[in-house]
Amino acid sequence: MNNRAGAILWNLRQFSTLVPTSRTIRLYPLGFSRSKVVYSNWNPRNLLLSDFGNGVQSSVRHLFQDALIFKSGDNFQTKGVGTETVLTVDGPLCPRRLSFDSKHSLDPDNALKKAAFHHKASSEDVLTKETKPTPVNNKKLSEECSSLSDVLDKFSERPTFPSSNYFSAMWIIAKRMSDDQKRVEKQLMVNHPAFNQLCEQMMRESKIMHYDHLLFSLHAMVKLGIPQNTLLVQTLLRVVQERINECDEKCLSVLSAILEAMEPCKNVDVLRAGLRILADQRVWKIKRVFTLQALIRCVGKDAPIALKRKLEMKALRELDRFSDLNSQHMFEALAAMNHRSVVLLDECSKMVIGNIHGCPFKVLINILQSCRDLRYHNLDLFKGIADYVATTIDIWKLKQVIFLLILFENLGFRHTDLMDVFMKKVIADPASLNMKSIISILHVYSSLNHFYKCQTSEFQEVMANSLTGYLHNISSENLLNAVCSFCLMNHFPMALINPLLQKDVIKELLIPGDESNAHKLRILAACLKLDVPCHKAIDFDLPPRSSTTLYQNVKVADALSSLLGEGYFSKDIQLPHNYHIDFEVRMDINRSQVLPFSDAVTSADTQRVAVLCVPRSTYCLDLAHPRGFLAMKLRHLKIMGFHIILVHNWEVERLEKKDVITFLKTKLYSTEAFLTADVNLQSTC
């Protein structure tokens, strides 16, 4: 008895403090006014309704302010509609909610009131049974409707809770449409008279619907192209922030997909920060690899390194459960997080190579793009992809192969079989090439310095003739790019070069602050001077080359000083045509004796030796084949009378000083010391 009295007194205190006023309202299923139809299928799973008239609160701390509280107990009738007293709370919710069950009754005559309430509800059930709507299902709705407007028509006829199903159904329908049809349907959707009503209802329901429904509807809105800066999207973002602790593993996947598809803004950034906290707390509990990869893609490149490593360790633990699809998508996920895990990438590479046949083109592209972004160079992976494309080249479109070749060029990877097969294909059908394709192909083949036996000349002629047909509508910059590629390949089609020699064209190309075009014009000028001696010299009047910080070859300089002595070599030599060499040594014609620089006389009996210290980037990925610019420089230095010794920076860094001296001595005095890479130059083809 004392417990019952205490409970009554506690409830009375709660009413006196929390309820300054009371009002009587009629409970409608969607939480807003309607005039006639009363639905009785209200689900009291979560009866925390917001006072929608006040709008979305400005802070997470005010989430529960101005809320309407409905507490379901033994006396709450879920079927039918009656009149109830609703409590308006002006402050944060009390941790202990009011209870109206049999143990804490406020009224000794509660049983009589309960019976009266049941009688009233039963009488209204008869009236509402005929107007009770069928619960809507997004899959069923998407099957019944053929357009986005059909879904909105269904909503306008008889809206049901939750509104998220209508947005989800519209996105399911939109995925089945072509791009043109999708664009038209989206415009019709926005102009539909029921669309604004659906958006308003969605905002009102956002705090009471299931959290996964809220996320699915927001995902559908983003995919449907509803602008991110609209009140609807920003409101839902705020509500998702406030309810983020309701996230389960499924919701984490959906939320990750939403944030990945959205542009940065204040609400998106805050939500991403919240997701990072959740990921850090729950990473070891994640069961699905798909969810883990979605999180890795979403946390962002600026995520804390500790979180990145934790996600990496979780992925390594799950390697045994990786499917072929998981291994393929791991590259893109790590690139999105900007985290290069060599161990994880190596294992995924093995799985990709083992299941390369039938791999979609888009997946291959994503893998190569991710390797480029992560600076991950796996020759076995690249060779496996290139071998697969080369053997199945007939099933690929021309654009697809060109795109792959461009990515291989970005990675510095030269696959001779694929490039040879594609060269034959181009020679056999040049009419299939457009202007953009021609320029891209020229760039790839010139950059990788690739030639194919005696078909190289035929290939160059075919490409030049094909591009000549586009002279009437090609821009000066694109023409310069193509001509520069021809120069690297030691081919000079004058029909394409002559338009670039006009003074007005050169003036147009020399954009202030843009060094790229000036550099290409210098290449053209050097080639016309050295490779085409019969061509009339033209003064390009190019701006001076900007100074660059030179690599300090201290170890090589010390080795030459110990080997030859001071005064027998020179360093940092600037040559005509904007060429630079690291060291120059002068020897007799038999290369048996080094001559001092103090003589300062060059004659037919003097041999000039250029020592070039070259980085990895000047070679293809296998470090055995020079790329286009280095090959052209070697060709021009040879024309200028030099013998060349190539010193690889990455190898010298690993050697002791005595080993560097031995290497240079062998190269300087041996008859095989000079330009062993000459077989790779274009002039020998």
Span 84-120, pLDDT tens digits:
333 333 333 333 333 333 334 444 444 444 444 444 4
pTM: 0.75
Of the three residues 195, 227, 246, the one that is the final residue of a domain is 246
Q: At what angle do helices 435-447 and 476-488 cross, to 10 degrees?
A: 30
Segments forming the whole domain that contains residue 218: 136-246
Of the three residues 246, 268, 303, the one that is the final residue of a domain is 246
For residue 619, the 8-state DSSP code is B
Each residue of 187-198: pLDDT tens digit?
999 999 999 999
Q: Is residue 634 part of a domain?
A: yes
Is the pLDDT at 638 greater than 50, yes or no? yes
Q: Where is pLDDT greater, at 160 or 42?
A: 160
Helices of type H across 192-302: 195-205, 211-224, 231-242, 249-261, 266-282, 289-298
**Average pLDDT value for the chain:** 79
Q: Answer for the pair 99, 74: CB distance below 8 angstroms, yes or no.
A: no
Q: Is residue 205 part of a domain?
A: yes
Q: Is residue 160 part of a domain?
A: yes
Rounded Cα gap, residues 409 and 617, in angstroms: 12
Q: Is residue 491 part of a domain?
A: no
Is the pLDDT at 71 greater than 50, yes or no? no
Q: Which residue do the tokens 């070697």 mark?
A: 634
Q: Which residue do the tokens 């060429």 mark?
A: 579
Q: Answer for the pair 234, 267: CB distance below 8 angstroms, yes or no.
A: yes
Q: Which of 87-91, 165-169, 260-264 has the lowest mean pLDDT?
A: 87-91
Is the pLDDT at 491 greater than 90, yes or no? yes
For residue 626, the 8-state DSSP code is B
Q: Where is pLDDT greater, at 407 or 159?
A: 407
Q: Is residue 534 part of a domain?
A: no
Q: Answer for the pair 236, 202: CB distance below 8 angstroms, yes or no.
A: yes
Give whole-number Cα distances, 90 to 87, 206, 224, in Å.
Answer: 10, 21, 38
Q: Is residue 331 part of a domain?
A: no
pLDDT attached to residue 285: 92
Q: How far does the chain reach from its first CA to its final CA, in angstroms? A: 108
Rounded Cα gap, residues 603 and 54, in angstroms: 94
Q: Is residue 364 part of a domain?
A: no
For residue 640, the 8-state DSSP code is T
What average pLDDT score do residues 505-521 get? 85
Bridge pairing between strands 594-595 and 48-50: unpaired
Each residue of 553-609: pLDDT tens digit?
889 999 999 998 888 899 899 998 889 999 999 988 888 888 887 665 666 778 899
pLDDT attached to residue 160: 81
Contact partners, residue 657, CB within 8 Å, separation at least 6: 555, 558, 559, 562
Q: φ, ψ for residue 374 (rounded to 5)? A: -85, -5
Q: Is residue 337 part of a domain?
A: no
Instruction: Give how many domains the chain has, as a whole number.
Output: 2
What average pLDDT score do residues 477-483 get? 95
Rounded Cα gap, residues 341 and 311, in angstroms: 11
Is the pLDDT at 539 greater than 50, yes or no? yes
